[in-house]
Amino acid sequence: MTPLEKLVEFLRIPSVSADPAHTPDVRRAAEWVAAELDVLPHVELIEAPGRHPLVYAESLQAPGQPTLLLYGHYDVQPPDPLDLWNSPPFEPVIKNDNIYARGACDDKGQTLILITALQQLLARDGRLPCNIKVLIEGEEESGGEHIEAFVPAHTEKLAADAAVICDTEMFAPGLPALCVGLRGIVYGEIHVHGPAQDLHSGVYGGVAPNPMMAMAEILTALKNRDGHITIPGFYDAVRPPTPEEARAWASLPFDEEHYCQTEVGSPALTGEPGFSVFDRTWARPTFEVHGIRGGFIGEGSKTVIPAVAVAKVSFRLVPDQDPAVAVDQIKAAVAAATPKGVTAEFKLLHAAPPSSVDPSHPLIAKAAAALTESFGRETVYIRSGGSIPIVGLFRQTLGIPSILMGFGLPDDGLHSPNEKFHLPNFHKGIETVQTFLKSL
């Protein structure tokens, strides 16, 4: 089978880690990855009760050479809303050099880049040019509890000089990028309880507290109309980009108008005045609401004061914010913003620290050289607003940097309907990883 045929096979497995109904599919994806890694001397599926398996493999047959820990994830985000897909999310379609499917870019296509690079090196040379450990997880999109417990408990097994991760984006088509900063995250739910049960809004309206209204008050109390988070102390640890970084960002080829129209697709951009788009997406924290549940949302009308409202929310964190500190600040701010007559609670679902990579690390220069060779253009150093929770953990527990070599494109639609992966990037990625490993 060609790498592309393998990608199609991988994408057909609906490994949605957040949805318990897909648990057997998530396992099937883990087994699929393990079978592909079977070309290495050692492969294992690591299990834990109630968790999705980790796939671990290693080849330690290059004495004196560096050891790299390759990381990826075989799970995907839920495909909803299904009616917005032009073709079913788990039936890959190839059109104009792109493959469309949930996980095409994030992160099955990019995980397969790493695996295929190893397979091709082994097939061609019979050996790998350096020592390789591979750790592929199935919970990246839904909290990552398994890997979070596994890594600190197996620091010797996982010891390496650096991690290599293909799970980020290039800055623009044809313009290779190394990502040297990711935001962290605090994800949780705000639960607001009011009356003991749903009430007639005519009979009780005027005296009964409304949890939906209270939720709106709480949410809007956490961030002002300028996009500035009003939680006391929230920005205390925020480290501005260095002057060199700010200069480099200012010289990136970027048209804000075009970005607003084509990528964001909204009439205007929002956010803190005085901060650039790169500042706002890479170097400033955020507060976002993902969904609000409660009351009546069916067709037609129902006059009710709901008893409960729940909002799913997240905060992205930047260096040097600490998720534990942020959680305490959020809890205090929710309590302070709670109006009379209701109770409100912030329930943490998961958190991950922000991370940054020292751009002067020698392996970063080698990675940049490999990218530049494959794409024929100078590699740019960027950050990303997304989170890859394991990057911070690799730094904290293994003491290693992560080389974030991403092959996604800004319009690949990660987490959106019609997610795609640009196939020339799939092939160039495979080539780049091989060039990089051989250059060590």
Classified as helix, coil or strand, 421 is strand
Q: How far is 404 from 423, CA to CA, in rounded Å? A: 19
Please, what is the minimum distance in Å from the beta carbon of residue 137 to Zn ion? Answer: 10
Helix/strand number for the chain, H first, E second? 12, 18
Stretch of residues binding ligand BES (CB under 6 A), selected from 88-96, 332-340, 387-395, 422-430 = 387-395
Task: Compare residues 371 and 414 and give the one whose CB is closer to ligand BES.
Answer: 414
Stretch of residues binding ligand BES (CB under 6 A), selected from 82-90, 161-169, 223-231, 322-330 = 161-169
Q: Of residues 294, 389, 392, 401, which one binds ligand BES by CB under 6 A?
A: 389
- Contact call for residues 388 and 185 (beta carbons, < 8 A): no
By CB under 6 A, the count of residues binding ligand BES is 15
- Residue window 113-152: x/- pattern of binding to ligand BES, with contact defined by CB under 6 A: ---------------------------xx-----------
- Contact call for residues 285 and 235 (beta carbons, < 8 A): yes
Tokens of 174: 């044809």
Please, what is the minimum distance in Å from the beta carbon of residue 388 to ligand BES? Answer: 5
Q: How far is 185 from 234, CA to CA, in rounded Å? A: 13
- Residue number closest to ligand BES, CB atom: 386
Task: Compare residues 182 and 342 and give the one whose CB is closer to ligand BES.
Answer: 182
Q: How far is 282 from 366, CA to CA, in rounded Å? A: 24
Q: Does 386 bind ligand BES (CB under 6 A)?
A: yes
Q: Does 412 bind Zn ion (CB under 5 A)?
A: no
Q: Of residues 139, 169, 245, 419, which one binds ligand BES by CB under 6 A?
A: 169
Q: Does 384 bind ligand BES (CB under 6 A)?
A: yes
Task: Compare residues 59 and 321 and give the one whose CB is closer to ligand BES.
Answer: 321
- Residue window 324-353: x/- pattern of binding to ligand BES, with contact defined by CB under 6 A: ----------------------------x-
Q: How far is 98 from 47, CA to CA, in rounded Å? A: 34
- Residue window 99-118: x/- pattern of binding to Zn ion, with contact defined by CB under 5 A: -------xx-----------
| 161, interface contact from Zn ion, ligand BES, none, CB < 5-8 Å by kind | none
Helix (H) or strand (E) holding 181: strand 177-182
Q: Does 161 bind ligand BES (CB under 6 A)?
A: no
| 402, interface contact from Zn ion, ligand BES, none, CB < 5-8 Å by kind | none
Site for Zn ion, residues 154 to 173, rule: CB under 5 A: 167
Q: Of residues 107, 137, 139, 161, which one binds ligand BES by CB under 6 A?
A: 107
Please, what is the minimum distance in Å from the beta carbon of residue 352 to Zn ion? Answer: 13
Which residue's structure tokens are 């009439």? Answer: 267
| 387, interface contact from Zn ion, ligand BES, none, CB < 5-8 Å by kind | ligand BES
Q: How far is 201 from 60, CA to CA, in rounded Å? A: 68
- Contact call for residues 45 and 30 (beta carbons, < 8 A): yes
Q: How far is 413 from 262, CA to CA, in rounded Å? A: 12
Closest CA to 27 of 14, 39, 36: 14
Q: Where are the beta strands (DSSP E) in 277-392?
A: 286-293, 304-305, 308-317, 343-352, 355-356, 380-384
Q: How deeply is 162 buried, as exposed, middle or buried, from its count of CB atoms within 10 A (0-12, 13-18, 19+)?
A: buried
End-to-end CA distance of the chain: 29
- Residue window 401-430: x/- pattern of binding to ligand BES, with contact defined by CB under 6 A: -------------x----------------
Taking every pair of Cα atoms in the chain, the longest distance, rounded to a whole number of angstroms, is 79
Q: What is the DSSP letter of 97?
A: T
Q: Does 364 bind ligand BES (CB under 6 A)?
A: no
Q: How far is 418 from 82, CA to CA, in rounded Å? A: 10
Q: How far is 282 from 394, CA to CA, in rounded Å? A: 20
How far are the Cα atoms of 71, 86, 195 from residue 12, in angstroms, in the given order?
21, 16, 46
Please, what is the minimum distance in Å from the beta carbon of residue 418 to Zn ion? Answer: 17
Task: Compare residues 109 and 319 and give the one whose CB is closer to Zn ion.
Answer: 109
The DSSP bridge partners found for residue 309 are 192
Q: Does 106 bind ligand BES (CB under 6 A)?
A: yes
Please, what is the minimum distance in Å from the beta carbon of residue 292 to Zn ion? Answer: 26
Binding residues for ligand BES, per CB under 6 A?
Answer: 106-107, 140-141, 167-169, 185, 352, 384, 386-389, 414
Binding residues for Zn ion, per CB under 5 A?
Answer: 106-107, 167
